[in-house]
Amino acid sequence: MSTLMSSPASVSSARRSGVRRPLAAAVWLACALSLPPLAQAREGVEVGKTSTFARFVPAADVEQAAAQQFVQLATEARQQNALLPDNHPQVQRLRAIARRIIPFSLEWNKRAKDWQWQVILLNSKELNAFCMPGGKIAFYTGILEQLKMTDDEVAMVMGHEVAHALREHARERMGKTYATKMGAGLVSSLFGLGNTGDALLNMGGQLLTLKFSREDESEADLVGMELAARAGYDPRAGISLWQKMSAAAKGAPPQWLSTHPASSTRIQDIEASLPKVMPLYERAPKPGQRWDAPSRSGAAGTDPLQLAFWGKGVVRLGLPD
């Protein structure tokens, strides 16, 4: 026969248990609040860490050498009337696209906030473009005109080249070269003592002729896709871009393709990475002006663009007078 009455011992036990539950909850809450927040998975592409070889060469020295080489290149082009002026529609187009991409570079390289970004356009039939360390971007008219590139395709090329600078591939290649020739210990000692004069003389000449590895090129493809997508440019343009580049090669790849020829494999890699960057593109604000569509007024791109600023680094984009 059951009873509704409880014994004194069971009542006492219940009371103690009732006291423990709020106390245990309070302790659990305090512990939970003291724990670091769980790291959220990064949205976008995934790449490895910067190579150890890059540490053998000071970043500031590489950027200084690049700046000197860039000025020399622009000066020679200006003397040959091959440097297009600031008010040229294609120059304005490149700088407008760069201004949208540059803000998203900071996540990939903290030094980018202090870079003096510059963009120039050289009148040449070469299918070429590059971004030197420190944010020195150059395009050749050949790649824009011969491929009849859309803004999305330009953004893919620019994102790719900017990615090389952000991931410090040139610095890595230099460090690897010196380490191979001189031994890692000697290189580290040389740069650690600040005796970089002779080495920097060689650096300047290398920056325009460096050949990146296939791994570097693949990494630049991925990071470049993400930069373009976050800037509001369709990353699917990478497929049409490489189809155009492959057709232009005709058995002899142009300079921009010398270390990473277009192929079905490359296009497949881009397609495989699209699910990671398409959500970024779909949410991103889109450009208010495009240069790959006829303007209703016919006057698009005739006014010089205003200089833009980002963080401590000046997004100057042009060259000094």
Bridge pairing between strands 308-310 and 129-132: unpaired
Question: Has residue 236 been placed in a domain?
Answer: no
Report d(CA 247, CA 120) in Å as an integer.
26
Beta-bridge partner residues of 317? 118
Q: Are 119 and 95 in contact (CB under 8 A)?
A: yes
The whole model's pTM is what?
Answer: 0.72
User: Using one digit for the tens of pLDDT, what is the confidence trace for 43-74?
Assistant: 877 776 766 656 667 888 888 888 999 999 99
Q: How many CA atoms within 13 Å lie on the side-chain side of 168?
A: 26
Report d(CA 150, CA 221) in Å as an integer.
18
Amino acid 170: pLDDT? 76
Provide the mean pLDDT of the chain.
75
Question: Has residue 191 been placed in a domain?
Answer: yes
Question: Has residue 174 been placed in a domain?
Answer: yes
Amino acid 197: pLDDT? 43
Amino acid at 228: A
Report d(CA 283, CA 292) in Å as an integer.
22
Question: Has residue 58 been placed in a domain?
Answer: yes
Domains of the chain: total = 1
Lowest-confidence region among 93-102, 231-240, 256-265: 256-265
Question: Has residue 188 been placed in a domain?
Answer: yes
CA-closest candidate to residue 89, choices 40, 151, 33: 151
In percent, the amount of the chain with pLDDT more than 90 equals 43
pLDDT band of 22, cuts 50, 70, 90? low
User: Using one digit for the tens of pLDDT, what is the confidence trace for 87-101?
Assistant: 999 999 999 999 999
Amino acid 215: pLDDT? 80
Question: Has residue 264 been placed in a domain?
Answer: no
Amino acid 203: pLDDT? 53
Alpha helices (runs of H) in the chain, residue ranges in sequence order: 8-34, 59-79, 89-101, 141-145, 151-166, 169-182, 184-192, 197-206, 214-230, 237-249, 264-283
Q: Tell me the residue range of the domain where 98 lies.
A: 52-213+307-315
Question: Has residue 177 been placed in a domain?
Answer: yes
Question: Has residue 265 been placed in a domain?
Answer: no
Q: Are 298 and 98 in contact (CB under 8 A)?
A: no
